[in-house]
Amino acid sequence: MKFYKRKSIDNSNPRNDAWAVKQDGLITTDTERGIEVPQGTTGQRPSTFKTGQFRYNTDTDEFEVYNNQGEGQGWERVRTVRPGKITVQNLGVGNYVETTFGPLAYSNGDPWGDWTDSLDMPENILVFVENVYQIPVTNYTLTGTQGDVSISFTSAPPNKIITVLLGFDGYWPPNP
């Protein structure tokens, strides 16, 4: 691919004049308007992926980037700083017998989409039996399948209210 220096671009075409490649390879633009990135649905993602690809997913209304490094390879949501909705959910009352309570609610209405690693992330929610915090993995795990996730305690809770708080990262399921 050949890059043109600003001097060699036709100044009569404003689209070409807005971009330049500096000697160190940095691509710059003089526009204040913004850059329109590729966008489409989850099903319209490129068929060949390369680490660093960036696009806007119209199904999730989120920017996403492809990461092929380490754990959690695949398309990841790009984190932004904005307030998330924290959901407080009452899962009922323990009875010294039942160990599984749920399903968990979604804090933003996202029906899980592609984010499948959430069952391995019980630390992203807070679980209380009455007013006693439950330790992830030690006292409970997340069980179930996409769209039907429940809390599974290691021992049956007593006759106390079970409350779950989720959505601290702005998403439920959490973004791996």
- The residue-averaged pLDDT of 142-169 equals 86
49 or 13: which leads in pLDDT: 49
Over the chain, what is the mean pLDDT? 78
- Assess contact for 126 and 165: CB atoms under 8 A: yes
- Rounded-to-5 percentages of helix, strand, coil across the chain: 10, 30, 60
Q: Where are the domains of the chain?
A: 1-32, 36-78, 87-166
47 or 80: which leads in pLDDT: 47
Q: Which pLDDT value is given to residue 160?
A: 97
- The residue-averaged pLDDT of 21-28 equals 81
pLDDT tens digits for range 126-153: 999 999 999 999 999 988 876 678 899 9
113 or 52: which leads in pLDDT: 52
42 or 5: which leads in pLDDT: 42
- Is residue 176 over pLDDT 60? no
5 is written with which tokens? 């220096």
- The residue-averaged pLDDT of 158-171 equals 82
- Percent of the chain residues topping a pLDDT of 70: 70
E runs forming strands in the chain: 19-21, 27-29, 39-40, 54-57, 62-67, 74-77, 87-93, 100-101, 126-129, 132-134, 140-145, 148-153, 161-166
If one looks up domain 36-78 in CATH, what number appears? 2.10.10
pLDDT tens digits for range 74-122: 888 887 766 667 888 999 999 999 999 988 876 444 444 433 446 667 8
